[in-house]
Amino acid sequence: MQAPCISPLPPRYRLAFFAAASLLFAPLVGATEAKRNDLSAEDTTRVEDVTRPTNDFSRPEQYEAMPGGATTSRNPIDADAFSHASANLGFSEEENFRLGKALFEKLWVSSPSSTQASDGLGPLFNARSCHSCHLKNGRGHPPENDAGSSSSMILRLARPARTDKERQTLAELKVVSFADDTYGNQLQDVAVPGLAAEGRGTVTYTEERVTLAGGETIMLRKPQYSVADLGYGPLGTDTTLSARIANPIIGMGLIEAIADADILAMADPEDRNGDGISGRAARARDHRTGELQLGRFGWKAQNASVRDQSSSAFVGDLGISTPDAPGHWGDCTSAQAPCREMPNGIQTRLGNTEAPDPVLELVTFYSENLAVPTRRDVGSPDVLRGKALFYRIGCIACHTPKYVTRRDAANKAQAFQLIWPYSDFLLHDMGEGLADGQQVGDATDREWRTPPLWGIGLTDDVNGHTFFLHDGRARNLTEAILWHGGEAERARNAFASAAPEARRHLIRFLESL
């Protein structure tokens, strides 16, 4: 049976740079241009043609089964589906990938240690390795009796600006948030021997009943967070807690290779076209140069590059200093004097940080080159019907299906690839239900970066669970959709009011990604 077709998509899907976004963003980023500067006129026409969203759902699109272009992994789908290198890496690059993998999975130890190339952990930390949070390079989870350790979820700590000077500091992105005066930017629940951990995050849930068309009822769980066993006195009275589970890290180099102009083309902060979607581009400061760039990584798009995302995790989650974040005490604050006085892992013969280059470079390379797996069942009638509904109710207004990466991407393997991440990488107001009370850089407490959807259907295969959203509150894809509010409320309501079979088709489409 032929899947239904829908009318052509709204004019916001054009390659030309949105004028409003240009005026808002270009002076802040500096190098952003109105159009891509890596394409010839002929290339531009080709890119516009191939990235135009389809209105034919009778069959799969050409190359749709290869979401990462030539980098796509064709390996068997199993628990290691997110652990393969980009399929088109050269021999020498494969060696760097393997070295990066070893460092990504390396267990760091406290100082002093006889294994001097591996010490420097903490003194306060959340995990001993990158792999501990990003297990099998996949999605983290909240604490659950049936899901094992909670090390793949952390609690961010932040307080509002208290003075005009602090508000100006935030506006200029000299900081992305203000930390708790005692406990810093996130709660570290583990410490090296001889030091008290900061505390233990706890979560309790209340449930809300939602009735869908056809009489199906869904229970949505709303989390409430607190901290037990505080080790250094009370939290600040204005400190807020926001949970974060680890994101999958497949396809990150491809995301970095998307042209700024193509992401900014989706921005419409004033909703001038009246479609109810007003995505905003996030700014982020490069950790090495301090220059403003387009943010595209992290739940709040607070990082501009894979390297910046990696260095943030080293210092925040592991307490390991790098050339981009040289503080060897990690997130210990000046109020935690015993932490600041603990031994560190700096070996002067290797460098002046605990993870000197090439450690950060190799971990970054590994993270940039984890391949997106090939899609499944792209030609299934149910999947095609679900895709049609996904497009028709407006999900692609934020989950932009496809891009062609820059011709001059830093890694040739990622250059000029047709990719299907299903994200615009912009900030969107997701409503009060998902608000966390914290401003992070340009993102308000109600705004979140649109996460890419590629690989989402393999979460259970890779990580043995189906917890979604920034804090894992959603226990399946249906719950994740029903938590959408704000700019996404219209699409959420259309899903809730669709016939049960149509909803099942849409979930089947997501499971095929």
Alpha-carbon gap, residue 139 to 493, rounded angstroms: 27
Query: Does 420 fall in a domain?
Result: yes
Per-residue pLDDT at 6: 30
Alpha-carbon gap, residue 8 to 52, rounded angstroms: 10
> Structural domain tally of the chain?
2
Positive or negative: CA dihedral 188, 114, 321, 80? negative
Kindly report the length of the chain: 513
| Confidence band for 39, pLDDT divided at 50, 70 and 90 | very high
Query: Does 204 fall in a domain?
Result: yes
Q: Are residues 214 and 336 in the same domain?
A: yes
Query: Does 432 fall in a domain?
Result: yes
Per-residue pLDDT at 115: 82
The tens digit of pLDDT for each residue in 438-457 reads 999 999 999 999 999 999 99
The tens digit of pLDDT for each residue in 395-427 reads 999 999 999 999 999 999 999 999 999 999 999
Q: Are residues 152 and 219 in the same domain?
A: yes
* Higher local confidence (pLDDT), 29 or 270: 270
Half-sphere exposure of 312 (CA within 13 A, CB side): 20
Q: Are residues 242 and 260 in the same domain?
A: no
| Average pLDDT for 277-285 | 97
Quick count: other Cβ atoms within 10 Å of Cβ 341? 11
Query: Could you write out the three-class secondary structure of 143-172?
Result: CCCCCCCCCCEEEEEEECCCCHHHHHHHHC
| Confidence band for 97, pLDDT divided at 50, 70 and 90 | very high
The answer to whether residue 280 scores a pLDDT higher than 50 is yes
Query: Does 315 fall in a domain?
Result: no
For residue 395, what is the DSSP state? G
Q: Are residues 69 and 167 in the same domain?
A: no
Pairing of strands 427-429, 447-449: antiparallel
The tens digit of pLDDT for each residue in 106-131 reads 999 999 988 878 899 999 999 999 99
Cα 333 → chain centroid: 26
Q: pLDDT > 70: what percent of the chain?
A: 92
Alpha-carbon gap, residue 175 to 208, rounded angstroms: 36
pTM metric for this prediction: 0.92
Q: Are residues 216 and 236 in the same domain?
A: yes
Residues sharing a CB contact under 8 Å with residue 293, sequence separation 6 or more, in sequence order:
29, 283, 284, 285, 286, 304, 305
Q: Are residues 333 and 271 in the same domain?
A: no
The tens digit of pLDDT for each residue in 213-226 reads 999 999 999 999 99
**Tokens representing residue 456 in the block:** 């989402």
Domain that holds residue 111: 91-249+320-345
The answer to whether residue 13 scores a pLDDT higher than 60 is no
